[in-house]
Amino acid sequence: MLRFSFRFYFFAAFFLFLITPALIAQVPAPPSGSKSLTRLEESTDWDTCGSCGNSGGTGAVATYSMERGITSPNLDGSATQFSIGGTYAFKNAYWFVKHYTGSPTAPVSYLKYEFYLWVPAVFEKIPQAIEFECQQKVGGYLYNFAWQMDYKSKTWRTFNFTQKQWESAGVSFAGLAGGKWHHVIAEYHTANKQVIHDAITLDGVRHVVNIHHPARVWNTGHYLSNAFQLDLNGTATDYHVYVDKMSVTYK
């Protein structure tokens, strides 16, 4: 009986290993020559833009703030708290940093946005959505690399910048367990004036999605940016989250 049980569990585990390689695969290492911007949550260059994070980029403005230097919880000495509230349902708070110095002068061939996210247990079911993105302006085009954790539809979604709409990535999202750190990694690249969402990884589970969206004609100049957004639910319930070890790696 013991021998049978051992064989059963051994082959069951081996079978699961065979059928789930895409989920347990390691995130590939960045290509040689890549550059990294690290500890971005502690940057003093974060900016906001009022109602720009709302649907349509207009309307009433939520109450929001960010506080650096949080020591509990943290992973590397300090984290940053992002907060949203107010009285207006379904309004959003958008924070961003534009990196001009040393930003790539050609469309990125590799891009990774990575951070750790903590939702306090008391707010576990509160967000309408949590969003994050990078943008690259270069060569007269804007490349938008955006993801949304959509609590309502329980799916991951990507943003189609030219159509101005969120679209399902075909990956389920069960929410974030409160009171613990969650590791988020988004991988992208560009090709032929297209944004390609390569994969999304949450807590070590990687989903290859290969989603393409066209870049949008834009003005001249170049920068690389990263952003973070919180969305209020239908009752405009206040909440906050913590972010740590935020980085952007590109080539």
- 3-class DSSP string for 62-117: CEEEEEEEECCCCCCCCEEEEEEECCCCCCEEEEEEEECCCCCCCCCCCEEEEEEE
C-alpha neighbours within 13 Å on the C-beta side of residue 34: 19
Q: d(Cα 87, Cα 91) in Å, to the nearest integer?
A: 9
Number of structural domains (the chain) is 1
pLDDT of residue 25: 61
How much is the pTM? 0.89
pLDDT at 56: 66
Q: Which residues contact 198 (CB under 8 A, 6 or more apart)?
A: 187, 188, 189, 208, 209, 210
Q: How far apart are CA 190 and CA 109, in angstroms?
A: 6
Q: Is residue 26 part of a domain?
A: no
**Domain contains 3:** no
pLDDT of the residue at 11: 43
Residue 223 lies in a domain: yes
- Alpha helix locations (H) across the chain? 2-19, 21-24
Specify the DSSP element, H or E, that contains 133.
Answer: strand 129-138
Confirm whether 5 is domain-assigned: no
Residue 141 belongs to some domain of the structure? yes
DSSP 8-state secondary structure symbol assigned to residue 192: T
Q: Could you list the residue range(s) of the whole structural domain that residue 63 is in?
A: 31-250
The CATH number of residue 77's host domain is 2.60.120.200
In a domain, 148, yes or no: yes
pLDDT along the chain (251 residues), means of 10: 43 42 72 97 93 72 96 98 97 97 95 99 98 98 98 98 96 99 99 98 98 97 97 98 99 98
Cα-Cα-Cα-Cα dihedral sign, residues 222, 213, 33, 40:
positive
Instruction: Supply φ then ψ for residue 100, to 5 degrees.
Output: -95, -50
Q: What is the pLDDT of residue 191?
A: 98
Q: Say if 139 falls within a structural domain.
A: yes
Is 15 contained in some domain? no
